[in-house]
Amino acid sequence: MQLIFEKSRPGRCGFSITRCDVGQEAKIPSPYLRKKECLWPEVSELDVVRHFTQLSQRNFSVDTNIYPLGSCTMKYNPKFTEKAAGIRGFADLHPLLPQLDHSLVQGALEVLYHMDRLLSEITGMDHFTLQPLAGAHGELTGVMLMAAYHRSKGNKKTHIIIPDAAHGTNPASAAIAGYDIVTIPTDKKGVLDLEALKKHVNSQTAGLMLTCPNTLGLFDSDVDKIAAIIHDVDGLVYYDGANLNAMMGRARPGDLGFDIVHVNLHKTFATPHGGGGPGSGPVGVKEHLSRFLPISRVIKARNGSYALDYDYPDSIGYIASFYGNFGVILKAYAYILMLGKEGLKEASEHAVLNANYIMEKLKAYYDLPFDRRCMHECVFSASRQEKKGVHAVDIAKFLIDQGIHPPTIYFPLIVKEALMIEPTETESKAELDILAQALIAAAQLADDDPARFKDLPKTMPISRPDEVKAAKDIRCNFFA
Amino acid sequence: MSGFISNTQADVQQMLKVIGVGSIDDLFADIKSHHRPRSFDIPSGRSEFEVMEHLYRVAADNASYLVSFLGAGYYDHYVPAAVNALASRSEFYTAYTPYQPECSQGTLQALFEYQSLICTLTGMDIANASLYDGGTALYEAMMMAIRITGKKKIIMDGGVSPIYRKIIRSYTSNLDIEFQETPVAHGRSDRSQIMKILDDRTAAVILQNPNFFGAIDDHEDIVGLAHAKKALVIESVYPISLGLLKTPGEMGVDIATGEGQSLGLPLNFGGPYLGFMASRKEYVRKMPGRIVGETVDTQGRRCFVNTLQVREQHIRREKANSNICTNVALCAIQSAIYMSLLGPKGLKDLASLIFNKAEFARQELARIAGVEVKRSSPTFNEFTVYLPRPATDIITKMAKKGFIAGFPLVRYYPGMDHYLLIAVTEKRTKEEILAFKSALEEAICS
């Protein structure tokens, strides 16, 4: 397909400029002016509409395809929440208005205040900051909170403990905040190796980052013991909320001993993933850490009015320009209000039901490294198929030809040829049966005719890309 | 069933039978009784209609109806309807990171186009596929400069948005980075101050154009000074201004960043926004975030993939260039649509229009007795005025008259109580500007 630049025709323009109703005598002195033309395309509005509509049709998405991408919680994104975020009184609101007068933004502050309360209750924490702009941003905020806590006690602790099953963002976030990483292996049951943990925990341990359920989709029944081990050396326990969708109404990180929590509104609370964002990664803490939370914080006065409060001398400071991805927060707020207590609980129940169902259906065809009840996702290995020369990536391409977005592959890293399947609660049994049939057909084809996988997919606008060339002859700008 | 669940009761029974358990509760057996929630006191669910009615009521408590002259880095531009119509294609917004390029060419090509649009706008060689916002993009650029130079001293110009500067300070509180800030002189970057502290230990000089006070500058000379000390120059820019102004590329800047909100995104009370980043090509492997690259498929057809992933956290973990994963792909696509609609002519016309309107407002306001308009350097669409009374008082009075008068600089610059930062976009008519002038005259006199 042509690039938008290749559709450019001199003289076309898709923008209607407002007539200038003031004088045009003033000039910017020429040393300050650009000399080189900006090469944006010259295209009509119809050109642009057709181009981007056709581009959109070259995507798989939740609205068009089964999308069981493990660890990403690709649940259905309700349409009304888009409408809610578009309400003019929210969408047109300038973020600096509260600096002028809080009375101008009472509605927006009310949303933020209530969201703090709702997320606190859902996770069992005391206070939230809604500022982090994505999950990894929440992680960084969480680690900064840990650092502030230890600094306040005069301790300079040096490392953070992270299981080998964790998302790559955990060690990356901890490293950026200045910590060394200690990696703990996963045991035979698929959970954190408690003995290894005990060996590595010492006075230099600033904290532990734990995904729960973990990335194998397993809930660690020893989670409270793990928390106690960390607390014994005055470390803090961080809950990576990537997998909160398994837990709503069933367990709360705050009750399990976690001190800091981040949640991904774009996962558990159904805001769209946008092809890679915007997300939102609010962070919650227990009371003893609340004085370190980023500023500003939303407070409610006795008279019922809302305000932003900056008066927290121990705060870690500013981690975002404003109050978070407000448009995303608003969608998640609308979702939580609609589902309510029963709906949230039911969402987690069906997420877990669906994952266990697909696991059961596929057990006979794929290796299951940790064969036990899973929570919201299950992780198979294509090691059996690999012996025939068929890899996880080949199975993924087979699924694409069936109109199914593949599961996450090659993650978690501790499972060879991993296929990580997270159906979410919004898929039905009928859709899961289609997914299961496709994966069974892939397993059978791997047995019968493994060579057939090599040139898949065949039904897409492109076949497999040359990734090595992309990285070697780097070209990321049409004009370069 | 609520909560957008599709399984029927009959489905549930069949599924439980296949799994071999009696009830959904049995599936949660690993969560022991002592793990159960101590409370889960969430209000009961409501219908879509009820939630929307509630939100309309809440939104009515926001003052979005005032005529606004508030900017300070975030601008109230008109967004053509086609932008939302296209960005609302659910094939874009309900997809995720394009891990599988064959079924994600839509997102990938759109992001490649976005990167190219940013490159030609800023005059730089390469761009990434987006960072969270202008502030975090500037922080990432600073960390990138530290990686490139292996040095840890940062010089930050006082004209850089104080909002950005605060973020950078917070992020680096646990890191061993030396900061030196240089105050602005006569509204612009103070060359003599920068020269005084620029040395071989300097990793980067961070600048902004137009700066927070609205002043336009040409930083080419500072780039020369910095490069002589093997320091990089990072410049944060307002993208619409580049319809007219000298680009970071033309000044020789190493890394350009900025807030992309003005490129087709609503103000959204602070987000989601769009952090853009572009640089010289030799730094591509040190750049944070996703980068979409062009390649060919097995049949030699042009296609696009996420490339140089070895820089990223999911491969490199604690050795990654950044921890960023989810960025703001949809906002980037939205801005690519906006930039394509404008084209070079639309951009230039828009930049000229808002420059002319701002000049008109600047001249009109200068006629008010007691109001001083700073004229030491040219401005683009935003300018600073001195008022005979505290700006915060004036703002309160102006709100009652239907105007958001601007930003009181005292919020970030102690002592500047009488200074007001005023922004003008294409949405402000001559009539509104004149009405604003009359209201300001009254507010000052009353």
The domains of chain B, with CATH numbers, are: 9-59 (no CATH), 67-77+344-445 (3.90.1150.10), 81-338 (3.40.640.10)
**Average of per-residue pLDDT across B103-110:** 98
Q: Is residue A184 part of a domain?
A: yes
* Contact by Cβ (8 Å): A195, A201: no
CA distance linking residue B406 with residue B421, whole number of Å: 5
A87 and A46 within one domain:
no
If asked whether residues A205 and A327 sit together in one domain, one would say yes
Cβ proximity of A218 and A190 under 8 Å: yes
What percentage of chain A has pLDDT greater than the value 70?
100
The three-class DSSP label of residue A98 is helix
Whether A176 is in a domain gets the answer yes
**Statement to judge: residues A154 and A301 lie in one domain:** yes
Domain boundary residue, one of A314, A337, A360 = A337
Residue A99 CA to residue B392 CA, distance in Å, equals 10
Other CB atoms within a 10 A radius of the CB of residue A161 amount to: 28
Quick check: B1 pLDDT over 60? no
- The answer to whether residue A363 is domain-embedded is no
Looking at the structure, tell me whether residues A311 and A216 fall in a common domain. yes
Q: What is the pLDDT of residues A24-68, one digit of tens each?
A: 999 999 999 999 999 999 999 999 999 999 999 999 999 999 999
CA separation for the pair B303, B12 (Å, rounded): 43
In a domain, A356, yes or no: no
The continuous run of DSSP H or E covering B437 comes out as: helix B430-445
With CA atoms as reference, report the closest residue to A376 among A298, A285, A268: A268
A365 within a domain of the structure (yes/no): no
Find out whether A294 and A315 touch, Cβ atoms under 8 Å: yes
A51 and A90 part of one domain: no
Q: What is the pLDDT of residues A331-383, one digit of tens each?
A: 999 999 999 999 999 999 999 999 999 999 999 999 999 999 999 999 999 99
Find how far residue A78's CA is from the centre of its chain: 17
pLDDT at residue B374, rounded to an integer: 76
CATH of the domain at A259: 3.40.640.10
Q: Are residues A126 and A28 in the same domain?
A: no
pLDDT (mean) for B44-68: 95
Q: Is the pLDDT of residue A449 over 90?
A: yes
Interstrand relation of A205-211 and A159-163 (parallel, antiparallel or unpaired): parallel
How many Å apart are CA B317 and CA B314, to the nearest integer? 6
Structure tokens at A158: 């040096």
Length of chain A counted residue by residue: 480
Residue-level pLDDT at B324: 83
Residue B62's SS3 state is strand
- Which residues, at least 6 apart from B85, have a Cβ–Cβ distance to it below 8 Å? A49
Pairing state of beta strands A408-409 and A418-421? antiparallel
Between B12, B18, B36, which is nearest A360 by CB?
Answer: B18
Structural domain of residue A20, as residue ranges?
Answer: 4-56
Domain total in chain A: 2
Q: What is the mean pLDDT of residues A249-259?
A: 98
CB contacts, 8 Å: B100 with chain A = 60, 396, 400, 405-406
pLDDT value of position B319: 84
| Residue among A220, A215, A168 at smallest CA distance from A192 | A220
Contact between chains at B38 and A255 (C-beta distance less than 8 A): yes
| CB atoms closer than 10 angstroms to residue A123 | 27
CA A241 from chain centre, in angstroms, equals 9
The whole-angstrom separation of Cα B62 and Cα A146 is: 36
Secondary structure in 3-state letters for A300-362:
ECCCCCEEEECCCCCCCCCCCCCCCCHHHHHHHHHHHHHHHHHHHHHHHHHHHHHHHHHHHHH
Residue A401 lies in a domain: no
Phi, psi of B383, deg, nearest 5: -150, 160
- How is residue A410 written in tokens? 């090659």
The pLDDT score that the predictor gives to residue B2 is 65
**pLDDT averaged over every residue in chain B:** 96
Site of tokens 């531009």: B77
Question: Could you read off the pLDDT of B236-252 as tens digits, one per residue?
Answer: 999 999 999 999 999 99
Structure tokens, B193: 């101050």
Which of A145-154, A300-309, B310-319 comes out lowest in average pLDDT? B310-319
Strands B419-423 and B202-209: unpaired
Asked whether residue A458 is domain-assigned, the answer is no
Mutate to test the interface with B, among A462, A469, A472 (most CBs of B within 10 A): A462
Same domain, residue pair A115 and A201: yes
Last residue of a domain, one of A316, A337, A358: A337
- How far does the CA of residue A203 sit from the closest CA of chain B (Å)? 19
Cα–Cα nearest to A160, from A191, A111, A200: A200
Q: Could you tell me if B94 lies within 8 Å of chain A, comparing CB atoms?
A: yes
- Do A126 and A267 reside in the same domain of the chain? yes
State the average pLDDT over residues B114-141: 97
- Whether A344 maps to a domain, the answer reads no
Residues A118 and A184 in one domain: yes
| B410–chain A nearest CA distance, Å | 10
Six token digits for residue A235: 């470390």
Q: A37 and A89 in one domain?
A: no
Q: Closest-CA residue in chain A for B432?
A: A21
Answer yes or no: do A152 and A40 share one domain: no
In 3D, which of B290, B236, B317, B253 has the Cα closest to residue B73?
Answer: B236
Q: Is the pLDDT of residue B134 over 90?
A: yes
Q: Which B positions 205-244 lie with beta carbon below 8 A of chain A?
A: 216-218, 242-244
Q: Which amino acid is at B342?
A: L
B275 touches A at CB < 8 Å = no
B101 CB neighbours in chain A (<8 A) are 462, 465
Q: In terms of domains, do A173 and A322 share one?
A: yes
Omega before A423 within 30 of 0, i.e. cis: no
Q: Is B121 exposed, middle or buried (0-12, 13-18, 19+ CB in 10 A)?
A: buried
Which of A337, A352, A377 is where one domain is finished?
A337
Residue A220: CA count within 13 A, CB half-sphere: 28
Nearest CA in chain B to A463: B297
Whole-prediction pTM value? Answer: 0.97
The angle subtended at Cα B263 by Cα B242 and Cα B377, nearest 5°, is 35
> B412-428: string of b/e by CB count within 10 Å (b at 16+)?
bbeebebbbbbbbbbeb
Tokens of B429: 């008519």
Chain A's closest residue to B309, CA to CA, is A471
